Structure 1
């Protein structure tokens, strides 16, 4: 225990110690706010919506599991009060929820809750503890278990697959349209559609065409045009209607950001010698 206490004390003091080494006597930076407690409090102030976000995360997590996982898991938590191994499994499941709720409650969009995927084993074992407690009435529950399993496989999984397809199909179609544009480069803006930057995927060797660029990362559009444009080079500029299906999938109203950017950048690339392809 003393060894762990010493290790914890060292790392807790590390940020302030390093700041003192690099700040210098005339430094304008303030030492306050560099320790872990200050950083944690700052994160908590920023994450005031953490509780509803974590509730949504946990709901998504359980919706992707067997329908009996939640009741069996809750029953397994009851076993944890009397069994040290079950208690370790329960703490291993709960602590990441508390920590992620404090420092990073938003996970983006995805399947279930990614930060609990590595703890499915804990949940399954706790469910096993609960099932063992139910051994005296297991024969009566076996039919319910089979019915719940059938419901998970025949109802829940197809429903989740349908919703996943509904979410990702617009992105897949938009990506396919970029590939079919015949352009050498395509420029995508972060604000032009929900999660629009998910379309910016390139191979490590940049052998894909078009090479997909992020509009917000281009510091000087004139310099970029002068560098890449020559006769025969095509630039794809998506317009607002290109992102329409993505906006519709999120039940949001499209903006004119893409149209305005395309109108501004098309003359620049055209004057530099590129052919401009508008994607509608």
Structure 2
């Protein structure tokens, strides 16, 4: 089962393995977007399958972002209750996976933490792309690693993404997770939006982590002994055995990854500078 909660600013999808349509009777509205369809239909359904349930909160998301932030507790509680009901009907969160982008990342984290704290239910995996920072940073502090058995976060922008790194794997995309080179080669996505595109592309293209962190990157807990050819992404090498800040250089052009040869050249360049 996938649960997709989306708006112009954020996506949250939740999926359980081995759930058939007859196991639930939720019929909620679905509102499509290019990003969510790519993540949900073209990628996750291909690799996992299952039943899809979608919740549309566009009536809220059409309002100013500040209104959405102010209603965060209300929205998260409603979604928490919906997911809790599915679990009570028999789905197993231990085989569950959540994906959240931006505001949806904050939702995924809070729902995961609530399920653990109040009900002792723990999701197996949560992946989050550029969790929203404005309206959350410095006003509240969430330890995202407490939301699931393993939480991997992809950082991509300095202006819209959170600056708090509290996941099991803090994946610093592009220029230390602050900006993405690809903003110069296409007019469609900001660094913030590119985090989702990179996550999507990682299903089909390798995005390699580097064990050599540039001196200009701020990393509180860098992983400096990554295995050769270590890849991030849903089908990558991420697991609870590797924790900390992982530097993943990205490219200028689609699909925005660096080959092993390009990565070696890049590492040599910033080592000499």
- Is the TM-score greater than 0.5? no
* Structure ranking higher in strand proportion: 2
Q: TM-score normalised to the size of structure 1? A: 0.24
Q: TM-score normalised to the size of structure 2? A: 0.24
* Structure ranking higher in helix proportion: 1
Higher Rg of the two aligned structures = 1
